[in-house]
Structure 1
Amino acid sequence: MALKKFNLPDPGEGLTEADLVTWRVAVGDVVKVNDMVVEVETAKSLVELPIPFAGTVVELLAAEGDTVEVGAPIIVVETGEGGSDPAAAAEPAAAEGEGDESSGPNLVGYGAKAGSTRRRARKGAPTPSPEAEVAPEPEPAMPVTGERARALAKPPVRKLAKDLGVDLGSITPSGDGGIVTRADVEAAASGGAAPTEPVAARRSASPTQSVGRSTSGSSATETRIPIKGVRKMTAQAMVDSAFTAPHVTEFITVDVTATMELVDRLKRDRAFTDVKVTPLLVVAKALCLAIRRNPQVNASWDEAAQEIVVKRDVNLGIAAATPRGLLVPNIKGADSMSMRELADAMAQLVSTAREGKTQPADFAGGTVTITNVGVFGVDTGTPILNPGEAAILAFGAVRRMPWVVERDGVEEIVPRWVTQLALSFDHRMVDGELGSKVLADVAALLHYPGQALVWV
């Protein structure tokens, strides 16, 4: 008999920790190579992790809701090496790797077998195994309790419960099939059920501190939300950006009536069947064309080399509001796409982000970003740069407004579709002239989309 520990890998973002959301296995389950055994939440996405060896699960070393450091063991599997374990015999690949450290390539997206992502039926609470003493940890991990294992909830609801300090096991579910709903969690947080302290806080509680009431949970007069996941990543990134890059923001108000007419025509065009066409699509295309005319704005600052790095491809970030917070995945090579290809890419990007399934690679390598504040009815703003990027464009609400129009030398006031654009840029790389040219070019294309035929 041989025991192997599967250590939490870096899900591909250079992270030091991740939150364990859902176990897909329980003690006693037989796993095959590349079976998805756990879902973790990183600073940007939900990621399913496959296990690199086969065998029988003997212990889960972390509970759902725990924050686990990268490299820490999270599950112990009996591989049967050197014995007659049928699971190991059926999977020769289980012999790969030595000792407790997981081996092989980065596990994210690594050859998952069809059907391996289905949830396994829980067999009850995991119990400590004496074999786990092969490499004891300095701090014993908390086993998954039976009450926690019985609680059924979707990942966004689990995340909400964790943020509000609510124990899912203490809630009487109201959803079909005994599923805990968002409303159930919110009711518990507001006093409908006793909120409890998050696992991480319980571990750090001092002997004199009451564990029954969390300093990071809810009370009658306030709600405390732990700074974790997307919120933690966003906060750190924005502080780093604001205090590293000297921001300048310029604004322009533009008549986009022609853009709105183009959007209406594209919606009726057979080439755009089954794809969502919005003004944001035209803005994205316009920004790519403006960058083609002003490539120096598609750059990053290399502090160590003391160089400005101008990027060849436009990896266009689209800020997406999701249940987990504001995420900014990017479309690789957006500048080389047709309008239809860009529409498809944007639809896929937003859908995947809202489902929490965006892969870490989709967040990396962005060169410029669009944030659509207009979707919230906001006219404009001063967006903060994503770290490593030289510019970010804010697209405001498109409103019907009175506008001065000149016809045959006569000025008159007519109703037009009008919006505001704001471009923030890093003044180390982008001076006022370059920033103004980019913003003016985007505005010109939105005012008269046909201008693109002259530029291409």
Structure 2
Amino acid sequence: MAKYQLLLPKMGESVAEATIIKWNKKPGDYIEADEAVMEIATDKVDSEVPSPVSGRLVEQLCKEDEVVQVGSVIAVIETDEAGSDNTPQAASVPETAPEPASQTVAEQAPNFVAQPTSQQPVIADIPGIDQIEQRQGAPIDGVTYENRFYSPLVKNIANQEGIGNSELDKIPGTGAEGRLTKDDLLEYIQKRGPKAGNASQSYAAPQQGQTTQPVAAPVAEPAYVAPQPVAQQPQQTQPAPSETFTAPKQSQDSPQPATTSVSGGNEIIEMDRMRKLIAEHMVYSKHTSPHVTSFVEADVTELVNWRERIKNSFEKREGEKITFTPIFIEAVVKAIKDFPMINISVNGTQIIKKKDINISMATALPSGNLIVPVIKKADQLSLLGITKAVNDLANRARNNKLQPDDVRDGTFTITNVGSFGNVMGTPIINQPQVAILAVGAIKKKPAVIETPKGDAIAIRHMMFLSLSYDHRVVDGALGGQFVSRVAHYLENWDTKRSL
């Protein structure tokens, strides 16, 4: 018999830790190779941790709702093969996880994405959580860090220690762009000491060779608080109960909170973790960017006829379908090349022009929650390549196989409101991007067309394109020209094109 130590795998360049959502196996259960042992959540996606070996689960080294560093030992599996343990540096299973990642790594908050169902996801009208970690501002004069983004984990620790926003803004951070990490805050608390009334809820400072974990039981993410004006009122040392949402602690086997009937008819439905994150992201986007929306109606008759002609042969040859989504993405990529100042982001007074064109797809899962997978370097892909990338991301989202890096670094977002029968919409910008395009339903309508014999009325396939953009950096001329250019590429489709 040999004992195999299962490590929390690396899930992307930006991910340093994850939260244990659920153990799929209990001590004593037999595990097949590649079978999921547990479910974990990062600030990007939920995913499963498979076992690379077959054997019996001997020990669980972390609990549900516990935050674990990448590379830490999470379980011990006893295999049938003879040999020594796979311990890298120790002969037996350590009681504590390996040393936490360096403080120079930006802290990843344990936000969550709901589990998709077996149904095919569709493109939705609401951006997801792409690059939410980039909200923080740069330090001001090296003294205060106002408007800096704090992860839910940092805010939870601060709330339990009675640390208000004004005090947080004065703590130097070692994370990316001066971000305040969990270890920064814990070190500050250790030097300052717990305040009166908070000793029972204080978090333990990180110890050598241990994973940093709170002493108190984990609490839910605090409700989103809109950014305050510059002239802020002094904040309370200890938040009032009404300022922070705290969910009751549930046992590992407890089901999701059930709806509660009040007043004989109304129901109170508690938001799940993903819905809280989406709500925060939407409010933040509207608070950050002055939204303007421009509309264009496009005649896509030739495009519809072309797809109808080639879709069966394409599916028979490639084994997958071609939808309108990759066609829309290709048109957007061409328009971005013509108007590169749409492919930007804003950092204070700086405009960051993106080199790569990474297209995000706002995708609605059948569960009602959302995720935004990203097609990286879409400008370097053919229509066939874009089609395969779209189908691959959709399939992996459906099967809960997306990795954190699959939903980051988007530079422009497309959302298909037409999949719900809507003719147009006014989408919310997916921060830190500056524009998002909504494509409406394709409808047959009578339209005036030009013919060699003069104008005539004919039945055409028509659709609306809606572009919401950040009016701080995208003026009406640029926004209007861009969406018109997208329509131009769709209307002038080459009907002789082959794939």
Q: If the TM-score is normalised by the length of the shorter chain, which range does it land in? A: 0.5 to 0.7
Q: Over residues 297-317 of structure 1, what are the superposed CA-to-partner deviations in whole Å (9 max), with x where a residue is unaligned?
A: 1111122xx311111111111
- Equivalent residue for 2:260? 218
> Which residue of structure 2 aligns with residue 183 of structure 1?
none
Aligned AA (2:248): A
1:405 aligns to 2:406 (yes or no): no
Measure how far apart 1:218 and its partner are.
2.9
> Which residues of 2 match residues 39-118 of structure 1 at below 5 A?
39-42=39-42, 44-49=44-49, 57-59=58-60, 62-63=63-64, 67-69=65-67, 89-93=84-88, 95=90, 100-102=96-98
Q: Percent identity?
A: 32
Offset at 1:418?
A: 0.3
Task: Please report how far the alpha carbon of residue 278 of structure 1 lies from its aligned counterpart in structure 2 after TM superposition.
Answer: 2.2
1:201 corresponding residue in structure 2: 248
Shift of 1:15: 9.0
Give the aligned partner of residue 361 of structure 1: 405
Range 365-374 or range 218-227, more displaced: 218-227
Aligned counterparts of 1:437 and 1:100: Cα–Cα separation in 2: 58
- Partner in structure 1 of residue 24 of structure 2: 24
Determine if contact 2:26/2:57 at 8 Å carries over to the other structure. Answer: no
Matches within 5 A, 1:269-284: 269=313, 273-284=318-329
Answer yes or no: is 1:286 the counterpart of 2:331.
yes
Q: Contact conserved, 2:16 with 2:69, CA < 8 A, in 1? A: no
Deviation at 1:447, TM superposition (A): 1.0
Aligned pair in 2 of structure 1 residues 61, 390: CA closer, same or farther (>3 Å)? same
In 2: Cα distance, 1:5 partner to 1:225 partner = 40
Contact 1:43–1:232 (CA<8 Å) still a contact in 2? no
Q: Does structure 2 retain, via aligned residues, the 8 Å contact 1:6–1:102? A: no
Asked whether the 8 Å contact 1:45–1:358 carries over to 2, the reply is yes
Which of 438, 443, 450 does residue 482 from structure 2 map onto?
Answer: 438
CA contact (8 A) 1:41 1:229 kept: no
The alpha carbon displacement at 1:446 in A equals: 1.1
Q: Give the match's secondary structure for 2:88.
A: helix
Task: Tell me by how many angstroms 1:202 deviates.
Answer: 4.2
The Cα shift of 1:248 comes to 1.0
Deviates more, 1:350-359 or 1:339-348: 350-359
Measured in 2, the distance between the counterparts of 1:378 and 1:32 equals: 46
Selected match of 2:465 from 404, 421, 426 = 421
Q: Deviations over 1:313-363 (max 9, x none)?
A: 111111222134121111001111101111111111112112222111111
- Equivalent residue, structure 2, for 1:314: 357
- Could you tell me how far 1:368 is from its partner in structure 2? 0.4
Quote the Cα distance in structure 1 between the aligned partners of 2:83 and 2:94: 15
Maintained 8 Å contact 2:5/2:87: no
Kindly state the Cα deviation for residue 30 of structure 1 after the two structures are TM-superposed. 8.4
Partners of 1:15 and 1:383 in 2: CA distance:
32
1:138 aligns with 2:215: yes
Equivalent residue, structure 1, for 2:366: 323
Kept in 2, the 8 Å contact 1:52–1:102? The answer is no
Distance in 2 between residues matched to 1:58 and 1:282, nearest whole Å: 50
Tell me the CA shift for residue 62 of structure 1.
3.3
1:440 is displaced (CA, Å) by 0.7
How many Å apart are 1:273 and its aligned residue?
3.5
Query: Relative to total residues, which structure has the larger helix share, 1 or 2?
Result: 1
AA aligned to 1:45 is V
- The SS at the match of 1:353 is helix
SS class of match (1:258): helix
Distance in 2 (CA, whole Å) between partners of 1:76 and 1:312 is 39
CA distance in 2, matches of 1:450, 1:223: 53
* Equivalent position SS for 2:39: strand
| Residue in structure 2 matched with residue 167 of structure 1 by the alignment | none
Q: CA RMSD in A?
A: 4.5
1:115 aligned partner: none
Q: Quote the Cα distance in structure 1 between the aligned partners of 2:17 and 2:87.
A: 32
Distance 1:90 1:411, change over 3 A: same
> Secondary structure of 1:93's match?
coil
Name 2:160's counterpart in structure 1. none
1:32 CA drift (Å): 12
**Normalising by structure 1, what TM-score?**
0.64
Question: Is the Cα–Cα contact under 8 Å of residues 33 and 94 in structure 1 kept in the other structure?
Answer: no
Q: Distance in 1 between matches of 2:314 and 2:9?
A: 46
Is the Cα–Cα contact under 8 Å of residues 73 and 98 in structure 2 kept in the other structure? Answer: no
Note closer, same or farther for the CA distance 1:11–1:233 as it changes in structure 2 (3 Å cut). Answer: farther
- Pick from 333, 338, 341 the counterpart of residue 296 of structure 1: 341
Q: Which amino acid aligns with 2:289?
A: A
Task: Write the distance in 1 (CA, Å) between the matches of 2:294 and 2:217.
Answer: 54
CA contact (8 A) 2:28 2:56 kept: no
Unpaired segments ≥5 residues, structure 1? 81-85, 107-133, 142-198, 205-211
Judged with a 3 Å threshold, the aligned counterparts in structure 2 of structure 1 residues 434 and 359 are, in CA distance, closer, same or farther, namely same
- Deviation (angstroms), 1:433: 1.5
TM-score, normalising length: structure 2: 0.59
The number of aligned residues is 350
Q: Deviations over 1:108-163 (max 9, x none)?
A: xxxxxxxxxxxxxxxxxxxxxxxxxx99973579xxxxxxxxxxxxxxxxxxxxxx
